[in-house]
Structure 1
Amino acid sequence: MSEVLPHGPFRSRRGRIMATVMAVVSVVLFVALALLVAGPDATGGWVVADRIMMAVIGIGLALVLWRWAAIKAVPDDAGLTVQNLVGRRHIRWEQIDDVTFDEGDPWVSLHLTDTETVPVMAIQRADGADARAEAHRLADLVAASRDHS
């Protein structure tokens, strides 16, 4: 395992790889279907618009998967920028009350001082021991920020 910088970004390894592979498969599969499905001249019911829509669906699915692959959390001196599937948010270190990664949770959760809970999808259970190590690293960063306050 390579050494990770304390302030290096958090990213899911398996989630990013799976999303990237499935995005490529989506584009290839849907474009191939759009090109290979029988048209009206071969007793099929597909017209050009149907073929274009099939390709657009594949590309749209690939874009959603690309967004999943872009999930990350980036720490800096002031706090943590969390980019989940939908939205990006910067959370100051002093706003974070606790970091949890309970058994069965799909990803890490930040419990904020205002009682809000923010998921950190960049640290996912699917990464196994690496995810637990990253959760500890995040908790250590939060604890270190308190020491400097």
Structure 2
Amino acid sequence: MSTFQFRPRKIRYVASALAVAFVAVFTVVAILLRSEWTGAYFQLSDQIAMVGIGVMLALGVLLFARSRVRADEAGIEIRNLVGTKRFEWDQVEHVSFPDGASYARLELPDDEYVTIMAIPAVDGERSVGAMRELRRLKAGAAQDA
């Protein structure tokens, strides 16, 4: 049983760059807190807290880089910002990419859907290829049923 896996490319690059920028900017601000009189007394703990804020923001941005989709003949697994969900193909009505949408999505019964953040519009042809593969796997599962 072969497994198809896809992760976004451009979002990972942007998230990584932003994470580095957050840590760098907050570290510089922390260093500059005590270098000049500003009318307030900043302690070492304030500097550490400022770096900590930068690290926390960086970790938050990196959540966007962890999205992934895995699919095989049995079903599809989607990992978005927080959490992973698995759906069997018989639970999925369609794999779609609505006009103007930022991400692909799984259409479920009762007008519900799950966003697939691993397949963003900004990845262009890579995302088109991923959609084709997911639709092929779903169609194969429908024929087997």
| Alignment-derived partner of residue 10 in structure 1 | 6
Written as runs of structure 1 = structure 2, the 5 A alignment for 1:19-38 is 19-35=15-31, 37-38=32-33
- 5+ residue gaps, structure 1, are 1-5
Task: Normalising by structure 1, report the TM-score.
Answer: 0.86
Corresponding residue to 2:37 among 43, 46, 71: 43
2:86 maps to what in 1?
Answer: 90
In structure 1, C-alpha distance between the alignment counterparts of 2:124 and 2:36, rounded to whole Å: 51
Alignment match, 1:3 = none
Separation of aligned partners in 2, 1:26 and 1:122: 23
| Aligned length, in residue pairs | 142
Query: For structure 2, which runs of at least 5 residues remain unmatched after alignment?
Result: none
Distance 2:12 2:107 in 1: 25
Question: Aligned to 2:50, what secondary structure does the other structure show?
Answer: helix
CA RMSD of aligned residues (A): 1.7
Deviation beyond 6 Å, 4+ runs, structure 1: none
Give the structure 2 partner of residue 103 of structure 1: 99
Aligned to 1:28, the other structure's residue is in SS state helix
Scaled by the length of structure 2, the TM-score of the pair is 0.88
Q: Which amino acid aligns with 1:50?
A: D
- Counterpart of 1:81 (choices 77, 85, 90) is 77
Q: Distance in 1 between matches of 2:72 and 2:47?
A: 47
Give 2:55's match in structure 1, choosing from 55, 59, 65.
59
